[in-house]
Amino acid sequence: MIRRLFFELKYILGRTPWDTGISPPELMAFLENHEPGRALDIGCGTGTNLITMARRGWQVTGVDVSRLAIRQAQRKAQAAGLQIQLIRDDVTSFENITGTFDLALDIGCFHSLSQEKRTRYATNLNRFIKAGGTFLLYTWLPENTNVTNLYPSQVVVTQFFDQHFDLTSIEHGTYRQRTSAWLTFKRKD
Ligand SMILES: C[S@@+](CC[C@H](N)C(=O)[O-])C[C@H]1O[C@@H](n2cnc3c(N)ncnc32)[C@H](O)[C@@H]1O
């Protein structure tokens, strides 16, 4: 609840430094190398990456808990003349999501959740991803010495998903003075 209000307030005040309007190169590289299919953007914000994917022929669904972010994403999709499904939902329950997806994208949503919510998220996620499908996760990933509950290690992050997903690649980086990483998971058969 508090987290939901936190993000709603961020969008109302326009304090959304992540909302750059530019899709990251890691997503662009994935799109270059894969045929379009069905994609779910988890914590889609104002829809920048949904628009990028839809323009490349992907059938996209965006989910976010923030009413204002969803409204802004709807406006952007309409202005771009793109068919994009936008759903206001909590990713710890995914109550309003149906069907299966070839790709799930999460840029900065998973790492904003509490431990308990991360577990619920991971448990639910496998329902939506086709066998062989991809889960592309961008998350803060601290150096070993700075690991906490809020910023868990690579091993811990991977453990949330390893029942249903194999980690196939990891690219380390930094974002606003924090270490971070792109993790690519493949859904097991
Ligand atoms: C750091 S922002 C990233 C937004 C978007 N992925 C981007 O790259 O612009 C995290 C997003 O996750 C959403 N979010 C956080 N907790 C959520 C939850 N429990 N359910 C759905 N969305 C949530 C926030 O509203 C916010 O839009």
Q: Where are the domains of the chain?
A: 27-187
- The answer to whether residue 144 scores a pLDDT higher than 80 is no
| pLDDT given for residue 189 in this prediction | 87
pLDDT tens for 54-91 read 999 999 999 999 999 999 999 999 999 999 999 999 99
- Whether residue 19 has its Cβ less than 6 Å from ligand 1: yes
Percent of the residues in the chain that have a pLDDT greater than 70, as a whole number = 98
- Cα separation values, 76 from 109, 110, 144, 146, Å: 20, 24, 40, 38
145: confidence class by pLDDT, cuts 50, 70, 90: low
- Whether residue 112 has its Cβ less than 6 Å from ligand 1: yes
**Which residue owns the Cα nearest ligand 1 atom 1?**
108
- The answer to whether residue 149 scores a pLDDT higher than 80 is no
**Whole-angstrom distance, CA of residue 123 vs CA of residue 160:** 8
Which ligand 1 atom minimizes the distance to the CA of 105? 6
**Which residue owns the Cα nearest ligand 1 atom 27?**
45
Q: Report the separation in Å between the CA atom of 108 and the middle of ligand 1, taken as the mean of its atom positions.
A: 6
Domain 27-187: assigned CATH number = 3.40.50.150
